[in-house]
Amino acid sequence: MAGTVAKRVLGTVAGTVAVTAAAVAGLLVTMPAGVHGFGAMVAELQGHTDTRDAATAALAPKGAVPYWTRAVGADVTVVRPGEAYGAHDGSVRADMALAPDTHLPATCTPLPQPGMPWDGGGPWPDLTGEQALLCEGWVTVVVDGHLYTWTGPDPQA
């Protein structure tokens, strides 16, 4: 009798672990590639962030990347505030690889500091000390052929 109860308990525990593992694996598969870490995953699930990935900037949602990147950007991650964040103030941040020999628009003007993008979680390098430009309303920083760009209600702040 005791052996039967132990087998049932072990079977229940094993079943619970298997179901939980399958649920976590399924969740990881459905997360965009730009969602890294447990905190970013929770923010995405709770609707605080809306992360989208695109193979090229041309495939990114309209208004989610500067228009001039559409022909030169690849491996794009866009993070916006999600529905649970509250009022959407236009904040968006994006990062992408740039095609070799990409030139920024001539209308870009230097910023003394890059400021801070809207914090949508996930990986974002410390851009302190990097040359920041304001390109048509987007704060723009290029590091080793990778573009980090963001905008919002006051992109210079």
Residue 86 near residue 114, CB atoms below 8 Å: no
Residue 13 lies in a domain: no
Residue 31 lies in a domain: no
- What is the strand order of the sheet 73-81 is part of? 49-56, 73-81, 92-98, 146-151, 138-143, 132-135, 109-111
Helices 38-45 and 2-30: angle between axes, nearest 10 degrees:
80
Residue 18 lies in a domain: no
pTM for the predicted model, two decimal places: 0.69
Q: What is the DSSP string of 49-68?
A: EEEEEEEEGGGSPTTSS-GG
| CA Rg value for the chain | 21
Residue 76 lies in a domain: yes
Residue 126 lies in a domain: yes
Residue 11 lies in a domain: no
Residue 5 lies in a domain: no
Dmax (CA) for the chain in angstroms is 81
Burial 83-95 (b: 16+ CB within 10 A, else e): eebeeeeebbbbb
Residue 100 lies in a domain: yes
Handedness of CA 111, 113, 114, 116 (dihedral sign): negative
16-44 pLDDT, tens digit per residue, is 544 444 444 444 445 555 554 565 555 55
pLDDT at 18: 44
Which range of residues forms the domain containing residue 103? 38-151
Confidence of residue 102 (pLDDT cuts 50, 70, 90): very high
pLDDT at 50: 75
* Total domains in the fold of the chain: 1
Asked if residue 70 has pLDDT above 60, the reply is yes
